[in-house]
Chain A
């Protein structure tokens, strides 16, 4: 029986895994390419690269704003949906920033300002990398303890890894910068990703019955499970982008990418590996 037009029992394990593996390879190429080009797997936002982001609420047009701040390292000026104009500056010295502050407080009072120094940005990069590594290792340990069998555990871990890499590649393609917020979203994907994988693995390995039935049942539950989460996140994305809340918009975009990718990775990649494993009789 098919849910959402996908019959999980129709394809051989090799066919199931082909698409996710291909997508993963493309994603690795995109991420690797960005890494070589920028030194970061995803283009860094100001949290990591250092710089200043200002949102002003004004009737001034882009040209006027550019003229006002011509003495500062402007990177971009863009108009947002909800009347705010985003101005991004590259890194600047403390004195220069205080001067910028002076101009902002006289000319554009009520501006939202975020400023991160270049060295602090680098420290944040290291800290984020530490968090990502520890999260991933921690997740892997929990998965191994929970299943105590090699292949199924590795399948879950590969699928989580793939979720993160592909989500990172999507960020590059869609131009979503890596910030503290989006890093948190990637970390959260580690948790979300494992959610449906665990459902699948438990149903297949710890329940009695025909493999086909168990796969169908797991897929039904898993699909509705992930789609409810997707709908919650989509709602968050809609409201936050209308409301001009940049952090939440970015977090929801990354989670949305990740959850959609997770559907593919869980029900094609992970399910494919498990099917192969069970059919070869090792799962009994």
Chain B
């Protein structure tokens, strides 16, 4: 009688545990995330045509394509001087054969768009009565943004799809020093052509009626300014640019022969890039007057007022440069993976993952010889990978090193499931629920410390722009987080429920 009671009590307890498993929030969360991840990869948006990778973002080494990384040959220099800043800047520009831009007035910071060492600059600055207070390689964030726009514009104009352009800042510096251009499905030779190619820029002037006549080509443009208000503070935006001597003469000749100097409003000035019109506005009356007496080499193209005018000015600047970058660049690195090889790497990566999983399964089976432990272990491990991929789909592209991270996470995952199993079980048996949960807590705290160290160890790489290992580090950190916060605690509950049957 007593015995029967005990038995029925135990059955009830088991039933409670089993129903509680479906109510346990960790288990529910894990199940939800698995569904969400599979959906993210294949259904949101629907994608069944691109093979096993679905919506996952793949890196160049799995997809095929080329990358080029350019290093800006310029410096950001902080300095102090007793002279008025304008005079000093003029003196400096006179002394050095380089584009120099003041990017901040107090403290004074200048961008020098040619490569100089600190020593070289110190000599020049001290001869002009200034001292250098800081020296960093790179460009100002504004210039960096400009460079990015110019490259994007160029790549888009050439119709290249799937291009990624990223500015990179070395750790320990606040100034971008590199730009990395990734072109999927383009071979190295073409990539160099695209990045190195300049557009054909032309200025034409409207004659009588709709006829236009050639004035000058892009080679006559010496410098291009940044978007600015003219007159300053007026909210009328535009871009200033300078012509060389010959260009100045051609511009004046055209303005006179077309009659624009006498009736400026009837003669539009047109700018064309690769034969399509990018700017079209009448000659300004003031400029027309000036041109009557002498050539003008400093020109300003107005683009209108307000934010719209400013945006147009930015685009115009990009076009005026015709794809030429405002700073000198050197090739820091480049690489190329042919599409077939990428395809091969993809197959191999999947194989490597499956084979690793299989091997781990055998090792764990050899240790526990209990399908009730081994199967949940492997299932949880697979869930971990699925959730990791599902989340990665939104934040990180997968390249070969990220795959290595993924497989390493698979290893750590099993590692820690072993810790949990050994910590809570005694000779393959589940102790009373209270003791079990206490031990589970202790196991999870061991795992927590181990996971924190792994995350800390990977953090520098994840935060560093430069190395191509960001993907590896982010995948590893993400994998550890998912494991520690979701799947491993869920495993603790699942194994308890299965083994207490």
**Are B458's CB and A187's CB within 8 A?**
yes
Which of A98, A135, A232 lies in contact with B360, CB distance below 8 A?
A: A232
Interface residues of A in 178-201 (CB under 8 A from B): 180-181, 183-184, 187-188, 190-192, 194-195, 198-199
B459 touches A135 (CB 8 A): yes
Residues of B within 8 A of A217 (CB): 422
In the complex, what residues of A have CB within 8 A of residue B472's CB?
184
Kindly state the interface size class of chain A when it binds its partner.
35 or more
CB distance from A151 to the nearest CB of B (A): 17
Contacts of B43 in A (CB 8 A): none
**Which residue in chain A gives the minimum CB-CB distance to B191?**
A101
Interface: A58 (CB within 8 A)? no
Of the listed stretches B10-18, B197-205, B461-469, chain A binds: B461-469
Pair B188/A113 contact, Cβ less than 8 Å: yes
B174 CB to closest chain A CB, in angstroms? 15
Query: Which B residues are CB-close (under 8 A) to A135?
Result: 456-461
State how many angstroms separate the Cβ of A241 from the closest Cβ of chain B.
10
Q: Which of A97, A187, A247 contacts B457 (CB 8 A)?
A: A187
A78 within 8 A of B: no
A243–B404 alpha-carbon span in the complex (Å): 14
A113 to chain B, nearest CB (A): 4
Would A248 and B457 be within 8 Å (CB), given that A116-B333, A120-B71, A229-B412 are in contact? Answer: no
For the complex, what is the distance from the CA of A198 to the CA of B330, rounded to whole Å? Answer: 47
| Cβ-defined contact, B414 with A229, below 8 A | yes
Within 8 A of B (CB), among A71-127: 94, 97-98, 101-102, 104-105, 109-117, 119-120, 123-124, 126-127
From B333, B450, B459, give the contact of A195 (CB < 8 A): B450
* Contact A184 B348, beta carbon cutoff 8 Å: no
**A44 interface residue (CB < 8 Å to B):** no
Interface residues of B in 362-396 (CB under 8 A from A): 362-364, 367
Partner of B453, one of A110, A183, A194, A228: A194
Which of these, A94, A97, A225, A235, contacts B355 with CB under 8 Å? A235
Q: Is the CB of B418 within 8 A of A225?
A: yes
B40-79 CB contacts (< 8 Å) to partner A:
66, 69, 71
Does chain B have a CB within 8 A of A202?
yes
B458-497 interface bits toward A, Cβ cutoff 8 Å, 1 = contact, 0 = none: 1111001011110011001000000000000000000000
Contact status B411-A127, CB under 8 Å: no
Kindly list chain A residues whose C-beta atoms are within 8 Å of the C-beta of B143.
Answer: none
Q: Which residues of B contact A252 (CB under 8 A)?
A: 404
Shortest CB distance B367–A (Å): 5
- By a CB distance below 8 angstroms, the chain A residues around B340 are 110
**Interface membership of chain B positions 317-357, coded 1 if the CB is closer than 8 angstroms to chain A and 0 otherwise:** 00000000000001111111110110011011101100111
B171 near A115 with CB under 8 A, answer no
B453 x A236 contact (CB < 8 A): no
Q: Which residues of A have CB within 8 Å of B188?
A: 101, 104-105, 113
Q: Is A240 an interface residue (CB 8 A)?
A: yes
Q: What sequence of 0s and 1s flags, for each residue 233-260 of chain A, a beta carbon within 8 Å of any chain B beta carbon?
A: 1111011101111011001100100000
Contact of A238 with B355 in the complex, beta carbons under 8 Å = yes
Please give, as numbers and ranges, the residues of chain A lying within 8 Å of B171 by CB-CB distance: 127, 130-131
Contact B336 A112, beta carbon cutoff 8 Å: yes
Cβ of B360 and Cβ of A255 under 8 Å apart?
Answer: no
Determine the chain A residues whose CB is within 8 A of the CB of B345 once the complex forms.
243, 245
Query: B458 contacts A123, CB within 8 Å?
Result: no
Q: Is B85 an interface residue (CB 8 A)?
A: no
Cβ contacts under 8 Å, B207 to chain A: none
* Residues of chain A within 8 A of B333, CB atoms compared: 114-117, 120
Q: Residues of B contacting A244 with CB < 8 Å?
A: 344, 348
Contact A113 B335 (CB under 8 A): yes
- Chain B residues contacting A109 (CB-CB under 8 Å) are 187, 338
Which residues of chain B are within 8 angstroms of A116 by Cβ–Cβ distance?
Answer: 332-333
The complex places the Cα of A263 from the Cα of B108 at a distance, in Å, of 57
- Minimum Cβ distance to chain A for residue B368 (Å): 9
Chain A residue, CB-CB nearest to B348: A243
Contacts of A191 in B (CB 8 A): 412, 450, 453-455, 457-458, 476
Taking CB atoms, residues of chain A closer than 8 Å to B32 are none
Distance, CA A124 to CA B170, complexed state (A)? 9
Distance of A130 Cα from B460 Cα, bound (Å): 8
User: B residues within 8 A CB of A142?
Assistant: 449, 452-453, 456
A196–B178 Cα distance when bound, in Å, is 40
Q: Is B422's CB under 8 angstroms from A239's CB?
A: no
Contact partner of B331 among A94, A198, A221, CB < 8 A? A94
Query: Knowing A111-B336, A117-B330, A120-B71 touch, does A228 contact B363 (C-beta < 8 A)?
Result: yes
Q: In the docked arrangement, what's the CA distance between A226 and B455, Å?
A: 19
Q: Which of A104, A134, A136 has the most CB of B within 10 A?
A: A134
A139 within 8 A of B: yes
A residues sitting closer than 8 Å to B (CB atoms) are 55, 57, 94, 97-98, 101-102, 104-105, 109-117, 119-120, 123-124, 126-128, 130-131, 134-136, 138-139, 141-143, 146, 180-181, 183-184, 187-188, 190-192, 194-195, 198-199, 202, 206, 217, 220-221, 224-229, 231-236, 238-240, 242-245, 247-248, 251-252, 255
- Residues of B bordering A, CB below 8 Å: 66, 69, 71, 170-172, 178, 187-189, 192, 330-338, 340-341, 344-345, 347-349, 351-352, 355-360, 362-364, 367, 400-401, 403-405, 407-408, 410-412, 414-416, 418-419, 422-423, 442, 445-446, 449-450, 452-461, 464, 466-469, 472-473, 476
**Can you list 18 A-B pairs, Cβ within 8 angstroms, ordered by A?**
A105-B188, A110-B341, A117-B332, A127-B466, A138-B459, A142-B449, A180-B401, A187-B460, A190-B453, A191-B476, A217-B422, A225-B418, A228-B411, A231-B356, A232-B407, A235-B356, A240-B348, A245-B349
5 closest Cβ contacts across the A-B interface? A243-B348, A191-B454, A232-B411, A120-B332, A138-B456
Beyond the given A127-B170, A180-B468, could you list 4 further A-B residue pairs with CB under 8 A, ordered by the A residue number? Answer: A131-B467, A136-B457, A188-B457, A235-B360
